[in-house]
Amino acid sequence: MSETTTTNTTASATTTEALRERALKLDAADPLADRRELFALDDGVYLDGNSLGALPAHVPARVQDVLTRQWGELRIRSWEESGWWTAPERIGDRIAPLVGAAAGQIVVGDSTSVNVFKAVVAAARIAGEGRDEILVDATTFPTDGYIAASAARLTGHRIVPVAPADVPAALGPRAAVVLLNQVDYRSGRLHDLPGLTAAVHAAGAVAVWDLCHSAGALPVGLDEHGVDLAVGCTYKYLNGGPGSPAYLYVAERHQAAFDSPLPGWNSHADPFGMTPDYAPADGSARGRVGTPDIVSMLTLEAALDAWDGVEVDAVRAKSLALTDFFLECVEAYVPAGRVTSVTPAAHAERGSQVALRCDDAESVMRRLIERGVVGDLRRPDVLRFGFTPLYVGFADAERAARVLAEVLAETAGA
């Protein structure tokens, strides 16, 4: 991974004023600017939507209806009258356009970790006998690695850690499954989903993608690029709320062969038959397990209203413009040598966050948050700033870089 170290000294007043004016002009021309009004925000700068998205302002009233009317008054009748039973597939169909999938291929429920387990085990079973390797992104979020290792023990496979760029060379006749992240959670590097998926298929293996840091930030193209299985969370760029349910994508061509390691009554062909033998339901419902978390699920459904009328291509365009502008401001403002960008400069390799390496990152992030600029930290030395195009503006990016420079200048030599 190439790294670019900032070289400019602290910016002059003229430079600062010019960047502030540009930010205002960019915000005025932003076609997504009106989306900001849909969210409950304070006067700070919230750049941690890649960990927890902001609250859409209309959601509390919708949740209140779920609690007081649907649960409080209708009670058990809400499974039919309020559509609780069909929520996992219904909400999956609302997420589908955001990740480039046709309806009927996404089911919402459980956590990302649980869905990774379902996907990896099912993928190993789809790949069939004679293939005993599960290739795993060596830089993956730790839980994905833990889950893949458990799946390997269960299925008699072995884990092969590999850097995403090295996947094509590592693929061989024993490869069964390849589990990759579309965007690296530390650096924000965007991996080549189309190219890597094609390489996996050429080797006869099954591709499983983790979309936690890409869904809602950039076009994914699951159907277009022939992805087999995918999982993702909904509490980051999709703003579903803390711990909101994750989702599982099973390409239509694999649904009949999808053999979940967690069969439950909710995924049974006749769930109320209560028979001792398991018969899987048709379609994406095979990804269900037990009774869904209705309150959290319907909170997510309400939050997705913020996406009505939004094109993902417009989100991607703003994301790239925001991160470009933030990096420009960092280069102009930050004292020389204090931070190093580990986020790729090339648009084709960048997600929707900027990661800066900083020797005293923990102290710096604490001070930033005290001053109203909220990012987060990945130990030992990475400051992460997530840019959520639905509610982050260019003035936010300029202010964040300026405050970062002030903090770094104050802590120089400390």
Structural contact between residues 95 and 247, judged by C-beta atoms closer than 8 angstroms: yes
Q: Mark whether 141 is an active-site residue.
A: yes
Q: Mark whether 189 is an active-site residue.
A: no
The one-character DSSP state at 360 is T
Beta-sheet pairing, 133-137 with 175-181: parallel
pLDDT for the residue numbered 411: 83
pTM of this prediction exceeds 0.85: yes
Angle at 214 between CA 213 and CA 220, to 5 degrees: 155
Among the listed residues 46, 117, 185, 235, the single catalytic one is 235
Q: Mark whether 247 is an active-site residue.
A: no
How sure is the predictor about 2, in pLDDT bands with cuts at 50, 70 and 90?
very low
List, for residues 144-158, the tens digit of each pLDDT value: 999 999 999 999 999
Question: For residue 46, what are its two tokens?
Answer: 């919230």
Domain boundaries, the chain: 4-30+311-411, 60-307
pLDDT for the residue numbered 413: 57
Equal fold, 4-30+311-411 vs 60-307: no
CA distance 234 to 215: 8
Non-local (6+) Cβ contacts of 403 within 8 A are 45, 368, 371, 372, 373
Among the listed residues 94, 118, 236, 357, the single catalytic one is 236
pLDDT for the residue numbered 7: 37
List, for residues 105-121, the tens digit of each pLDDT value: 999 999 999 999 999 99
**Rounded percentage of the chain residues whose pLDDT exceeds 90:** 95
Q: Mark whether 394 is an active-site residue.
A: no
Q: What is the average pLDDT across 126-155?
A: 97
- The CA-based dihedral angle spanning residues 215, 220, 226, 230, taken in that order and rounded to the nearest 10 degrees: -10
How sure is the predictor about 414, in pLDDT bands with cuts at 50, 70 and 90?
low
Alpha-carbon distance values, 369 to 106, 243, 328 (Å): 37, 23, 21
Estimate to the nearest angstrom the gap between the alpha carbon of 219 and the chain centroid. Answer: 12
CA distance 204 to 190: 24
Q: Which amino acid is at 160?
A: V
Among the listed residues 94, 350, 384, 402, the single catalytic one is 384
Question: For residue 252, what are its two tokens?
Answer: 């239509």
Among the listed residues 30, 210, 228, 293, the single catalytic one is 210
Q: Residue 270 above 90 pLDDT?
A: yes
Q: What is the average pLDDT across 383-399?
A: 98
Domain at 4-30+311-411, CATH from 3.40.718.10, 3.90.1150.10, 3.90.420.10, 1.10.3720.10: 3.90.1150.10
Structural class in CATH, domain 60-307:
alpha beta
Among the listed residues 39, 46, 117, 141, the single catalytic one is 141
Q: Mark whether 391 is an active-site residue.
A: no
Closest CA to 79 of 271, 244, 252: 271
CA distance 46 to 237: 13
Closest CA to 114 of 65, 151, 77: 151
**Rounded percentage of the chain residues whose pLDDT exceeds 70:** 97
pLDDT for the residue numbered 335: 86
pLDDT for the residue numbered 285: 97
**What average pLDDT is seen over the chain?**
96
Angle at 231 between CA 313 and CA 144, to 5 degrees: 120
